[in-house]
């Protein structure tokens, strides 16, 4: 397993590189186009090859177009772009990475087409944990579906699962699932759907 985490000092946005040592396959999650030379250099230093670009969500059409122009297989909003038309490995539910696989979990709420990616004991979940950290869209697009995503896709995972957000959360770049309810803004909201909905509606 090879793992790198980058943070944008200006926006606190996070980018992730995941690699399989045996196959050399690498995926990059939530990259910024301007960082591409650095990301490619890190992949080259690992001695691997980039298999795919994965986006938990996207707010800027121009960013998506810049990433699509790189012509790597890209997964966004539940579908593949530039993926081979045949052959294994290009599913909407999972992506093989060496001997392991990433699971694609639909987690709508922040936007209607957000996706989280589960890799072994790590969940890369965009701004699902705290949408207020996203300057592009601090209020969820659908509060009810955000509640369902948290309850059904996150809080049901094993307690030692590591959560990797799209932006630093209270200065942290990773959380243990045990810690999340305590650290979440207004953690009491997670105990009741009505309280959760009312708090977000009044945000």
Q: What's the pLDDT at 202? A: 63
What's the gap between Cα 8 and its chain centre?
15
Q: What's the pLDDT at 183? A: 61
> How far, in Å, CA of 92 to CA of 1, rounded?
23
- Domain ranges (residues) in the chain: 2-201
Q: Write down the pTM of the prediction.
A: 0.92
> How far, in Å, CA of 30 to CA of 78, rounded?
14
Give 10-residue mean pLDDT values along the chain (203 residues). Answer: 92 95 96 96 97 96 96 95 82 93 95 96 93 84 91 91 91 86 60 78 63
Beta bridge partners, 29, equal 16, 54
Which tens digit of pLDDT belongs to each residue from 162-200?
999 999 987 889 988 887 776 665 555 676 788 778 777
Residue with tokens 């396959």: 25
Q: What's the pLDDT at 33? A: 95
Q: What's the pLDDT at 15? A: 98
Where are the extended beta strands (E) located within 48-199?
Answer: 49-54, 74-76, 79-81, 94-97, 100-106, 115-119, 122-124, 162-164, 175-176
Q: What's the pLDDT at 16? A: 98
List Cα–Cα distances, 134 to 137, 152, 166, in angstroms.
Answer: 6, 22, 8
Class at the top of the CATH hierarchy for domain 2-201: alpha beta
């Amino acid at each position: 397993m090879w793992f790198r985490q980058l943070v944008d000092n200006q926006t606190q946005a996070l980018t992730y590189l995941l690699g399989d040592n045996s196959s050399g396959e690498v995926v990059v999650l939530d990259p910024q186009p301007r960082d591409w030379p650095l990301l490619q250099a890190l992949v080259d230093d690992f001695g691997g090859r980039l298999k795919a670009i994965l986006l938990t969500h996207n707010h800027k059409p121009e960013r998506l177009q810049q990433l699509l122009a790189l012509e790597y297989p890209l997964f966004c909003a539940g579908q593949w772009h530039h993926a081979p038309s045949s052959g294994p490995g290009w599913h909407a539910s999972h992506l093989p990475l060496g001997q392991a696989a990433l699971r694609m979990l639909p987690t709508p709420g922040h936007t209607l087409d957000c996706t989280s990616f589960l890799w072994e004991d790590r969940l890369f979940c965009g701004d699902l944990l705290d949408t207020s950290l996203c300057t592009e869209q601090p209020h969820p697009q659908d509060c009810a579906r955000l509640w369902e995503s948290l309850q059904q896709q996150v809080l049901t995972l094993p307690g030692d699962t590591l959560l990797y957000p799209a932006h630093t959360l209270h200065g942290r770049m990773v959380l243990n699932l045990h810690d999340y309810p305590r650290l979440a803004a207004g953690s009491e909201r997670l105990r009741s759907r009505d309280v959760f909905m009312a708090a977000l509606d009044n945000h």
